[in-house]
Structure formats: structure tokens, C-alpha cells
A and B are shown apart, each in its own frame.
Chain A
Amino acid sequence: MNIAVCVKQIPDPAAPGRLDPNTFNLVREGKLVMDDSDSYGVEMALQLVDRAGGGEVTLISMAPNGETSGLRTALAMGAAKAVLVSDPALGGSDALSTAKVLAAAILRNPFDMVITATESTDGYTGTVPVQIAEILGLPAVSFAKKVTLDGNKAMIERQSESGYDEVACELPAVVSVTAGVVEPRYPSFKGIMAAKSKPIETLSLSDLGLSADQVGAAGAREAIVSLRKAEARQAGQIIEDDGEAFAKIIEYLEQLKVV
């Protein structure tokens, strides 16, 4: 069982982020960290490979300046190797370009499944996983909350608004997993030391057979045209309990049609 896991390296969410005033893109420079939402996919992949009794987890990432800090974290958790695509021409890539690049990088190694997060914590488009599937010509199962293997099939519980769907899917497939589905392990010191010498294949666009006009700002078909501050949240309504507060709360919930 070989699994490719897409791992995004993002600016540390603990540090205040900055947007480029012209493109409105997030400024991604300096040290990046693994997107927390990808740690669930890495953990799920490690568990699936473990249960299958063999195989490898390969990380796939696209990041500026050959950045590997976030990948080392996932390698320390137990992934075997990584493919990193880094090329100045990739700056300003939109979701579709990103998917093209990741898909090409995924094809560098044999795989039975591609795992991604549902969406990244710094971009939130949530479109890359299905785009990758489309480019690779594979089935996509989104919002997976549980994945088990049955021969050459994956049995997937897919989160829906009212519960979950049970989906069976032939492999290979692209599966996007929701946060909180598994408990990502903390890397051990041994894992951190081992990660130091795990291979990270760093590729440029031409290594992938892609040209600069297909990707980056040049190839982007998506643009952020304007930006405004999110509306401040209105103060909530406070109901003093005079013994009858529950009735008012129920009435309010009924108005919202949630009960």
C-alpha cells in the first residue's frame, strides 16, 4: 500500500500574516510550517500503510524557495520520503495550477491512494483535491471521516450535513480527509533525527514537463479582485434567567429553524 499525501507548507499561523497589496495573495516567505490540517492526512496514511502491512507514505508539496521545514515535520511523524516542487515561476499560482503541479509530482512514484486535507488553512479554496483527481482521471471522495481498506477497494465514511454516507471506491483514488478524524501523533525525537536523512526530491517545473505559462501568475485563471474586512460579529443577545429563560431560548432556536 503506497500512499501519496499532499502536504502544504504555510506561514506559521501563530505569526501575523501579511497580504500582498497588489495581488491580495498571502505573502509566503521565510520559514514555513506544515499546515495543521494536513497532519490528519499524514496520520491516516501512516495508519493505513501500517494496517496494510507494508508500503510507504510519500509526501507531495509545492512551496517557494525549496522550503522543507514543514515536510521534515511530516517525515518525523513517519513518512518515508517527499517530493517537493519549487520554482520561482510558481509564484501566484491559482488552485488549478497548484493541482496540475501536485498531480504531476504525484505521478513520480507508484501509489494506491492520494490523501489530501479538505482545504488548506491559509487559502481555504477547498478545490485542489477534486482538481487533482480530475487531472489524474481518478475517483475523488471528499470529506472522508473514516477510511478502511478491503482488498483493492477503500470503504469510506463521508461526512455529510446530516450524518455520513458510506462509500466504496476502487483504488487508486483521491481521498480528502476532514480535520479531527484521527489523532496525529507527536513526532518522537528518534523520528526527528531519522527525518534528517530521509530523501526529499526537489523538482523544478521543467523536471515535471510543465512550462511557466501554464502555472504561476502567468497561467492563473483565477484572480482575487477585491478584498474587504470581515464584518465584526454582532454582540449576542443575553437572556437573564428568571426561571423561564429556557422558553425564550427555545423560541429563538425555533426562529432560526434549528429545532
Chain B
Amino acid sequence: MDFELSQEQESFRKVVADFAESEIRPYVAKWDEEKIFPLDVVKKMGEMGLFGLIFPEEYGGSGADFTTLCIAIEELAKVDSSVAITLSAGVGLGASPIYHFGSDEQKATWLPKLCSGEILGAFGLTEPDGGSDAGSTTTKAEKVGEDEWLINGAKAYITNSGTEITGFIVVTADTEEGVTAFLVPYGTPGLVVEPPYRKIGWHASDTHGVVLQDVRVTSDSIVGTIGKGFAQFLATLDEGRIAIAALALGLIQGCRDESVSYAQSRHAFGGPIGRYQGVSFKCADMDVDVEVVRNLVYKAAWLRDSGRPFKREAAIAKLYSSEAAMRAAKDAVQIFGGAGYMDETPVARYYRDAKILEIGEGTSEVQRVVLSRMLGL
């Protein structure tokens, strides 16, 4: 049994932590308040190779394992969840489906640009009428010629779908042969990106609805196998769940660290509030969750990296970590008292950013459904 990360992974963790400290922390309050997608920072993350971490060098990637990606997401999320989800979705939802299911040509065309962060890819599964029940896609793709498809429908809440550098969206659509994934490059007539949503949190992350109105694509834009679009996306989501858990791990640490330092510096009734157990026990509980979630995340990532089944562990990690993140954020706001309710306090941002973790990439209920099924229920 060995819980040690490699020396190189530890050095990399330090680099990403330094990056988050100097390139993100000073500006994050402004991005949050003004709902700015920090394109320059995303480009720098691309230069550092973060978007290509887990892909082979032939596509401009680094050939690292999934554990290393989790390290990067965790370190970014300690400081800001929005930047962390931009990376997580860019890799997991944008590039991974192309890498796992794309044709050689699709890989050659898109992966190098995705790995370098020159473009971001979006993945449109959720629709205005349903997300959890993603198999019952109402977006339709109809074969209208020898080699031509006509797509009509709408996708909702799509991450990285409206940035200046979004290059394409992969959408699932129902065809006569079942749900199929299509890659639609930006600029294709009929593809309309709606104005950004007004979200509770993740203010510096980019989320839009995407409408497809008589969008014409050729057969070579099919990603993977016709009729297998649903199964493919399920495979993609398992990895994404570990990534979300890594993000939650960062957020919980952010909450713990902010809480501990406030508990030491804020005084009430003649002493620092950290000397009252009502406060210190909350910090202790956060510390417990940091440890528990860390073990869940890295165990699931390790299973994935060693080629073993990890569906159960990914669901457990996602479920437990997102609920732990909500607890930590709620307690952190409580420790900050009135200041915690003010938007400019980091823990207020953590609080607003935490909720989505219980919803995106499969709600907590969906994780429990997955686990129940695996128990034979």
C-alpha cells in the first residue's frame, strides 16, 4: 500500500498552487463580481499544458495520468471553482469524448488545439426538458442526403459554450438508430449560442444555452458510433465525476483554511472565536472531510489509472465530496458571521459555488441511483 504521489506530481502541485496564488487569487473577487470569464488566465493554463495533461504527446498532450489532472483541479479549486471547472470541463467534456470516441481525423483536427488551450470544446447533453434522464434526448438528427444530417433542438446549461475560443460543441441527438453524438463546429449556420445565464455561483465560468436550428453537418462529424451516443457519454461522465470530486476537495480546503485563519483573528467575548468549540469543531469537521474526500478522489483516480473499474468509486467520490463541500461552505459562512454573508468575502463565493457540485455531472440523487443499482436494487 502506498499513498505517496511521485516527486514530479508533487513538484507539479506546487507549480499549479503558485499559479493559482499569483494569477488567480488577486483577481478572483473582481471576476466573481463582474462575471468575467478570465480568457488570459485560461490561455496561460493552456501554455502550461493543463488542458492537454492526460492526452498523448502526439496530440500535444503531456501523457500524464488522471491523478495528475485531479491535482491540478484541486489546486485551482482551492482558490477558485470557476477556473477549476473551466479546466475540468475543457478536458473531461470538451476533449475526452474526441480522444476516446473520435475518428483519427477528428483527433488530428481538434486535439492539438484543445491540448494547447487554443480552443475549448463544449459538450451538450442536457436539454431544457431534461438532464438526469439524458437518454431521452429530444434534439433530433435526421439523415437528409447521402452524407448529410439535419439537426434540430436545444441544449441547456452548457459549460464553455460561449467563450471567445469555443471551437465546437458535441451534441447528443436522437436518430432513427438511437442517440448519436455530433460535432458541430462554431460558425456552422443555425448554431445559436444564447446569452449567459444568471447563476448563483461559478460566475467566472461560461454557461449558455445552445440552440440548433436546421444545422447541417456531414457524416464525418459523427463522434463514435451511430446509436451509441448515450453509452459513450456515460463513460465520459464517470471520469468527470472524479474531476468534480477533486474540485470539491479544493473547495473544502479553501473553506477550512479561510475558517481557521478567521477563527484565529476574529475576537469575541475576550478571545479569538476559535477557542469556542462551536467554531473550532466546525473547522475540525472540515479537516475530517478534507482527509476523507482526498482518499476518495485519489483512490478513484488510481483505479481509473490502473485500468480497473471505477464507476462505483467515482459515484461515491462525487456524491460524498459534493455534499461535504456544501457542509463546509455553510459552516465557513457561519464562522464568518455577517461578513460571511457579504459577497466580497471568499467564503461567500465558496458558498455560492458549492451548490452546483450536487447538481452537475449527475445530481446527488443520480449518484444514489447508480449506487443503488450496483447494489442490485
B147-185 contacts to A, CB under 8 A, are: none
A95-B68 Cα distance, complex, nearest whole Å: 41
Contacts of B192 in A (CB 8 A): none
Contacts of A72 in B (CB 8 A): 11
Contacts of B48 in A (CB 8 A): 185-188
Interface residues of A (CB under 8 A from B): 72-73, 76, 185-190, 192-193, 196
In-complex Cβ contact of B47 among A76, A185, A192 (8 A): A185
The proximity string for B residues 71-91 relative to A, scoring 1 for CB distances below 8 Å and 0 otherwise, is 000000000000000000000
Q: Interface residue count for B (Cβ, 8 Å)?
A: 16
Task: Work out how many contacts link A and B, with CB atoms closer than 8 A.
Answer: 39
**Contact B47–A196 (Cβ < 8 Å):** no
A196-B15 Cα distance, complex, nearest whole Å: 16
Question: Contacts A192-B8, A193-B8 hold; do A186 and B62 have CB atoms under 8 A apart?
Answer: no
Q: Is B291 at the interface (CB under 8 A from chain A)?
A: no
Majority secondary structure, B binding face: helix
Question: Contacts A186-B18, A186-B19, A186-B48 hold; do A192 and B57 have CB atoms under 8 A apart?
Answer: no
A215-B315 Cα distance, complex, nearest whole Å: 62
Q: Is B64 at the interface (CB under 8 A from chain A)?
A: yes
Quote the shortest CB–CB distance from B130 to chain A (angstroms).
38
Q: Is B12 at the interface (CB under 8 A from chain A)?
A: yes
The proximity string for B residues 1-22 relative to A, scoring 1 for CB distances below 8 Å and 0 otherwise, is 0000000100110010011000
Q: Is B227 at the interface (CB under 8 A from chain A)?
A: no
Contacts of A193 in B (CB 8 A): 8, 62, 64
Complex: chain B residue closest to A193, CB-CB: B8
Interface residues of B (CB under 8 A from A): 8, 11-12, 15, 18-19, 44, 47-49, 53, 57, 62-64, 68
A225-B194 Cα distance, complex, nearest whole Å: 71
Nearest 9 pairs between A and B by C-beta? A188-B49, A190-B62, A189-B62, A186-B48, A192-B8, A189-B12, A192-B11, A189-B64, A188-B48
Complex: chain A residue closest to B11, CB-CB: A192
Given contacts A187-B12, A188-B47, A192-B11, 14 further A-B contacts (CB under 8 A): A73-B11, A76-B15, A186-B18, A186-B19, A187-B11, A187-B15, A189-B8, A189-B12, A189-B49, A189-B62, A189-B68, A192-B15, A193-B62, A193-B64
**Contact A189–B19 (Cβ < 8 Å):** no
Contacts of B49 in A (CB 8 A): 188-190
Contacts of A186 in B (CB 8 A): 15, 18-19, 44, 47-48
A196-B7 Cα distance, complex, nearest whole Å: 10
**Contact A188–B62 (Cβ < 8 Å):** yes
Complex: chain A residue closest to B60, CB-CB: A190
Contacts of A73 in B (CB 8 A): 11
